[in-house]
Amino acid sequence: MDRRELAGFLRSRRERITPADVGLPAGPRRRTPGLRREEVAQLAFISTEYYSRLEQARAPHPSREVLAQLARALRLSDAERDHLHHLAGAPPGPPPGPSREIRQSIVDLLRRLPEAAALVLSATYEVIAWNDLAAALMEDFSVLSRRDRNLIRRAFLGPYRNDRRLYGVSDADEFARTSTQHLRAAAARYPNDPEVTGLVAELLDGSAEFARLWAAHDVTDRPTLCKTFEHPLVGPVSVNCDVLDIADRDQRVVLYTAAPGSPSEEALRLLSVVGTQRMGVPG
């Protein structure tokens, strides 16, 4: 265990995160950049005293559980998580939870698809990247919290728009079945991830439909290749749905495109104009 290097690495990662990044209030004027030590400790579910000793290079060897909690609290990338483990003298094992780190090439791809609504989903159906047209077709994800950007939570627990769930999409019931099957498979891949287990528990408690589908133990799915969104501005928009797997990140790129020359293609073009005037792509 390299205590000095570990201390410097933790401090550098803490200083780059703002309270807003993790849903905390900014509070009074801060003398130093980033989070306070006690805030990191709170997010990592460890004592402030122990975390402070880690940054002072005086703490004993942290457990793998503590390292995983620190990696999540400090929003470390996969490479940074591995580095943290090596500094602590505990070579990394498999990722403790679904990756939210998106390759820059994928972000660039979304931006280069002006006629397709495109987004990236994590293994738990959190929308982690999107382009202008996806925001115009579905919702401005940039104004939502991480929690509210989860499509499976939205499908089963709402909120609903005009009493229609999941943006009024025509295959909402099929999506509910498919997403439940995918979530069950993800829960098996990440059995110790608190966000995955917490999401499953929340859905089981809040949705009888999810509980029934979960009890079936199905892990196969039948993808829906065509669907229709009921949009409040342009009306029904029928699209082809294609999904590209990013295997090394356990993520999916979802592409919605309309048939050339169709009314839905014209509707997407209108939405692309409206969307770029008021909605942006996350950096």
Q: What is the pLDDT of residue 192?
A: 84
Segment 57-85, tens digit of pLDDT: 888 888 888 888 898 888 888 788 888 88
Round to whole Å and give the CA distance between 169 and 229.
4
Give me the amino acid identity at 35: L
Round to whole Å and give the CA distance between 51 and 40.
8
Mind giving me the DSSP string for 145-202?
A: -TGGGBHHHHHHH---BTTBSGGG-TTHHHHHHHHHHHHHHHHHH-TT-HHHHHHHHH
Segment 11-28, tens digit of pLDDT: 898 888 887 777 776 666
Across the chain, mean pLDDT equals 87
The count of other CB atoms within 10 Å of the CB of residue 4 is 10
Low-confidence ranges of the chain (pLDDT < 50): 276, 278-283
